[in-house]
Structure 1
């Protein structure tokens, strides 16, 4: 059994300092280098194997990546950031925010780990550099480097399947899908999981996928454009319902439908994903699958804490299920 005295002897710090750190003394004042050294030795000597009931309070960084070009998408990640800030304050943790990955790399020695929030592109080479100096990291909602860092994400494939099943249970078998393209990782364009799942699952159910429209970014402007495209092609052959990949797209689609006098939910119904604040105020209010941001943040911090004391464990990618919030754009008779 590893003792405080053994850690103190190897680290060169007093047993009192080691004990206060490992017992989360809020009044302890030590440098980041001291904290990192003591924790590294505690990990190496297997201290946590004999003290699994204990939790540490690490000093963490927030890597916050938004492009400030799309208000509704930024609102989603701003809300995630605020949930993290509030939780850090609640748990008496120390955190500093970085908006540029290179700045975090330069200051990595000040932290035991980081939380990543946002969808702005990060080059793979930068992620590799970050992993070398700060390997303990958890991304929330996205996962740009699953081979390097942990992540907590909404279970979007299951959400899409649940939406299709719900439509079918309500007697709807002509279902459309409107979505955007996936992110670029290391200059490679990826397909979005929502559109992939929609097409594959519809085919397994023996259903027509001709009303699938996937193009461009997840923005209100692009949603408006796609809504216009769908109506130009299918106004006289609309599906009974649409699943739209995000609220940002859905707001634009709804605007396009309203301009063309397409009545939602009479002419076609809409289900969206994210449940952002704005969907309550559009006309009609949108039924949307809710992503529990606070739960994702709590899970991210717990995952990061466990990673810091067991840095050699395999990387994990946790998927969190969503729940439907019903509004006027689609009121199911059976949930």
Structure 2
């Protein structure tokens, strides 16, 4: 069994660095090239995470013969490789896909955003395609034209005939807001992204953003000054640490400061922590913070982050299962929602009763 020490020696880094890279710690100061080298070294040495070891110990997987006839599937990612390496959540989605493919003895082929339109021959040569993350209408049209079987993971394409698996971010947002409200918070700010070209023409069509606005209006609390948003474009660039830092400064500069802040993902929360600390404020004494995803580093922040746990690997695994069903003849579409769970930690007060 390959150890972290062996990976560290082969990659020329410390075991601690390998551990943090393989646990997708976005606060680790390391170049994208070195991070990629660690991950590729681990893959080359067939390093198994404890999760995969437990699966192996549980016994061999019984596979139907028709599954064994599926040689390859493609993973089409909306991010570039360096962008994915900086986002632990989407690494989790991809690993879920790859782990499930390995269990079923299917070869996954990765195609990142810049390669998509040049890969039509490749996509037509595989048994099916799993598209990960947000894609534009033109990209969705292109994929449907070039892929015999197509499933979206962590994205709702708004085409009823296409299979997809995701978390209901609208419902997750309402759960966060209900919990914060029950814990006594009233001026709740939101930082994230708006959708400049949503399917229904709404500027605030991004699901977390639109659910936040709807909930605030229903409770008579909506204040546009408590929102700081960037375009959802640039393949997720605006949902990173730097954006969290800059947008948190905007809402903190309001004459009446919010008493709680929701960030669109945990990476943004890390940036918001810095902005709050630079303003001389404490978490949660002066302002509470809550977020989405529950990436591994969330529990190690100071204070540990309250966040909505979204099962990224389960989303990836389910996408593979949906694709196999399609390949094997299912003719009707399936839309699967993986439930999320709120994890209350020390960055906010928790409601006294479950909400």
1:230 paired with 2:251, answer yes
Q: Is this contact kept in 2: 1:213–1:230, CA < 8 A?
A: yes
Partner Cα separation in structure 2 for residue 103 and residue 149 of structure 1: 22
Corresponding position of 2:316: 297
Query: RMSD of aligned C-alpha atoms?
Result: 2.8
Q: CA offset at residue 190 of structure 1?
A: 6.3
Matched residue, 1:170 = 183
Q: Per the alignment, do residues 254 and 87 of structure 1 end up closer, same or farther by CA in structure 2, a change over 3 Å counting? A: same
Q: Select the structure of larger CA radius of gyration.
A: 1
Question: Are the structure 2 counterparts of residues 212 and 148 from structure 1 closer, same or farther at C-alpha, using a change threshold of 3 Å?
Answer: farther
C-alpha deviation, 1:169, in angstroms: 1.8
Mapping 1:117-132, distance limit 5 Å: 117-119=132-134, 122=135, 124-132=137-145
Give a deviation string over 1:220-242, Cα, whole Å, max 9, x none.
111111111112224xx223222
How many residues align? The count is: 280
Distance 1:160 1:126 in 2: 27
For residues 115-157 of structure 1, what are the alpha-carbon distances to aligned partners after superposition, in whole Å with 9 as ceiling and x for unaligned? 11244xx554443233223131111112346356322111100
Q: Does 1:205 align with 2:219?
A: yes
C-alpha distance in 2, partners of 1:296/1:271?
A: 22
Q: Verify the 8 A CA contact 1:115 1:300 in the aligned structure 2.
A: yes
1:76 & 1:104 partners in 2: Cα distance? 25
Shift of 1:177: 1.7
Contact 2:245–2:274 (CA<8 Å) still a contact in 1? yes
Residue 170 of structure 2 corresponds to which residue in structure 1?
157
Q: Please, which moves more after superposition, 101-110 or 285-294?
A: 101-110
TM-score by length of 1: 0.74
Instruction: Answer whether contact 2:153 2:316 (CA < 8 A) is retained.
Output: yes
TM-score by length of 2: 0.70
For 1:297 and 1:142, how far apart are their aligned partners in 2?
A: 11
Structure 2 unpaired stretches of 5+: 1-62, 231-237
Gaps (5+ residues) in structure 1?
1-20, 27-34, 36-56
1:246 aligns with 2:265: yes
Relative distance call for 1:77 and 1:249 in structure 2 (3 A) is same
Asked if 1 retains the 8 angstrom alpha-carbon contact of 2:293 and 2:308, the reply is yes
1:183 & 1:308 partners in 2: Cα distance? 35
